Structure 1
Amino acid sequence: MVSLDKTDLKILQVLQAEARITNQDLSERVNLSASSCLQRVRRLEQAGVLMSYHSRINLPLICRHIVCIATVSLKNHSQQDFREFEQLVKSTPEVVECYTVSGEFDFFLKIICPDMNQYLKVNDALVSSANRSITINTHVVMNQNKYFEGLDLGKLTSE
């Protein structure tokens, strides 16, 4: 883990909500000089704490699409099978998130496609490309009731 102080956490907290904030405005919000603030942001980027900056796009305003949540179970639980499936998922652009999980299934996938026909093609590709026996259970998202907008870092850290 990277050692962070309260100022680093303040910077991260602000950037989660406002990634497009200017360095000058960020420095004022966290009570630092602009040069010190920029130095800290660059250090956080180099350390891999700040991994990227994104915009949340309102997809229904620009295109039709479906969001599917899929659970995947592998028949065999070897490290090789897990690595191969992870590589398959990474090479499938419609899979926008993937988690290895404990419990009844092995992976949790979030898949976004223009329509159900494309989802079925993705599903078939995942099943047929896997050199192992897998089971996929899919749930079509009807509505997203809460969006991820950042974490309260103070509650997750000892600072």
Structure 2
Amino acid sequence: MTLDRINRKILSALQKEARMTNQDLADKVGLSPSSCLSRVKKLEEAGYIGPYMAVLNLPKLCRSVTVIATVSLKDQSTEAFRLFRQAAQEIPEVVECDTVSGVFDFFLKIVAPDMLRYNAINDRLLDLIPGQINISSHVVLETGKPFRGYPLDQLLDS
């Protein structure tokens, strides 16, 4: 499947407002509603779109603490990395886990109800391979720019 100009417009529009009607999307990208719906379905089937999620206003919903944790493993084996990734997958409060290059092996974004729960998560991760994991925690004080989508115009034109 090619990402022509119309498909790029569809992706950009849906990234900004996934709940718009097919009619509104078709108007925005200059297609008939049936052609637009057909393209959206093809983009979904090809894996360019999905899953659909709502962006929640967490501070309005509840109290929470967000922590960015940098993780280094002393054991650089494939098995140690697999074990750590699996543990991160199993902890619901770990909302993102990226394997990275450089000084650290992982960046985690953890959202917990309080520091007591965060400490329990931290201890659980440290206990995976006792003495072999180093975690440095960075409490998020304020989010100056929340994630609101990818810069498709810049990424797709390069």
User: 1:71: how far off?
Assistant: 0.3
111-120 vs 145-154, which moves further: 145-154
The DSSP-based 3-state class of the residue aligned with 1:155 is helix
Question: Aligned pair 1:34/2:33, yes or no?
Answer: yes
Q: Specify the SS of the correspondent of 1:110.
A: strand
Over the residues paired in the alignment, what is the CA RMSD in angstroms? 1.5
The one of the two structures with greater contact order (alpha-carbon pairs below 8 A, sep at least 6) is: 1
State the TM-score, normalized to the length of structure 1: 0.94
Q: Are 1:74 and 1:132, in contact at CA under 8 Å, matched by a contact in 2?
A: no
| Counterpart mapping for 1:36-55 below 5 A | 36-55=35-54
State the match for 2:108 in structure 1: 109
- The aligned counterpart of 2:76 is 77
Which TM-score applies when normalising by structure 2?
0.94
Residues 1:63 and 2:62 aligned together: yes
Indicate yes or no: 2:2 matched with 1:3: yes
Contact kept? 1:67, 1:112, Cα under 8 Å: yes
1:11-26 equivalence runs, <5 A: 11-26=10-25
- Structure 2: gaps spanning 5 or more residues: none
Q: Secondary structure at the match of 1:129?
A: coil
Question: Offset of 1:132 from its aligned partner?
Answer: 7.2
The letter of the residue matching 1:15 is L
1:78-120 Cα shifts (integer Å, max 9, x gaps): 1221111111111110000111111110000000000000000
Q: Is the 1:88–1:130 Cα contact (8 Å) retained in structure 2?
A: no
Given the alignment of the two structures, is residue 151 of structure 1 paired with residue 150 of structure 2, yes or no?
yes
Q: Aligned pair in 2 of structure 1 residues 31, 130: CA closer, same or farther (>3 Å)?
A: farther
- d(CA) in 2 for partners of 1:130, 1:144: 32
Q: Which runs of 4+ in 1 moved over 2 A?
A: 129-132
How far apart in 1 are the matches of 2:94 and 2:129?
Answer: 15
Question: How far apart are the structure 2 equivalents of 1:124 and 1:131?
Answer: 10
Separation in 2, partners of 1:80, 1:51: 30
